[in-house]
Amino acid sequence: MVFVGGPDDREALAIAWRMAGRSGTQLSLVRILLLGEAAKEDASVHDESQGILSAVIDTDKQKELGEDYISTFRLTAVNNSDSISYSEIDVHSDEDIPAVLKEIEKIGCDIYIVRQGNCRNSKIFSNLLEWCECLELGVIGDILVSNNFGSCSFVFVVQQYGYGGMICGNNLNQKATNKGTFEFVV
C-alpha cells in the first residue's frame, strides 16, 4: 500500500489493514514523505470562497489526522504482526514518485492499494495531475496502470465516502445530459 496522506489514504489504509488480518496475507505500507520543493502547497487549488485561512487549517488538520492514524497503525499493527511492514521514502520532486513506485514493483506485490485523491493541495501532485490519462484512478493509480510502468499487479483505488469527488477543484461526480452538457450528481 502506498500512503501519502489525506482522507483517501486513511480509508485505503483501513481497508489494507483489515485485509492483512487474513492468514497468508502480507501488507507492506510504503509512506511517501514529501520534502523540500515536493512539500510545497499549491495555493491555486484553494477555492476562493473558502478562503486561504480555512484551506491552511484544513491542510494542517489533514496532516494531523494522517500522523495520528499512521502512529496508531505502527503501534498496533506493525509492532504486533510479522506479516505487516512499514517503510518511509523521501520524495523531493515529481520525478521521484514513478521511481519510488518502480522500486516497490521490484519487491513484487499482487495488489496495490492506493488513494484516489489526487493532490492533497501539494504542488508535486498538481504537476503530475496534468499528465494523468485517467483522473478517476488518481495520480499514483494512473502511473501504476500506464503502459510505461509495466506492472502486472492489480490496482485497487480507494476514495473515502463523503469526500465529494473533488479533485483539485474538478468534480468527478458529473453525468452527461441529453443536451450535451453536464450536471452534477449529488
Listed by start position, the domains of the chain span 2-184
Q: For the whole model, what pTM was predicted? A: 0.76
Cβ pair 54, 61 in contact under 8 A: no
Q: Taking residues 144-156, what's their average pLDDT?
A: 88
Alpha helices in 21-151 (DSSP H): 51-76, 96-107, 123-129, 138-145
Tell me which architecture the domain covering 2-184 has in CATH.
3-Layer(aba) Sandwich (3.40)
**Cα separations (Å) of 56 from 14, 37, 49, 166, 174?**
25, 18, 14, 17, 27
* Residue 167 predicted with pLDDT over 80: no
Number of CB atoms found within 10 A of residue 58's CB: 13
* Residue 180 predicted with pLDDT over 90: no
Determine the pLDDT at residue 32: 93
Determine the pLDDT at residue 118: 57
Q: State percent of the chain over pLDDT 70.
A: 76
Of 42 and 176, more confident: 42
Tell me whether strands 27-34 and 2-3 are parallel, antiparallel or unpaired: parallel
> What distance in Å separates the CA atoms of residue 7 and residue 66, rounded to the nearest whole number?
8
Q: What's the pLDDT tens digit per position in 88-128?
A: 999 998 899 999 999 998 888 889 999 987 555 688 888 88
Determine the pLDDT at residue 57: 53
* Residue 70 predicted with pLDDT over 60: yes
